[in-house]
Structure 1
Amino acid sequence: MGRGRQKAKQTKVARALKYYSPETNYHALEQELKASQTDVVTDDRWGSTADSAYDNDADWDDDRRY
Structure 2
Amino acid sequence: MAPEPTTPGQPDDTPESYVGLDDRGAEQLARSRGWTTVRAVPPGSIITLEYVVGRINFEVDDHTVIRCWVG
Shorter chain as normaliser: what TM range? under 0.3
Bigger radius of gyration among the two: 1
Report which of the two has the higher share of helix: 1
What is the TM-score normalised by the length of structure 1?
Answer: 0.21
Structure with the bigger RCO (C-alpha within 8 Å, sep 6+) is 2
What is the TM-score normalised by the length of structure 2?
Answer: 0.19
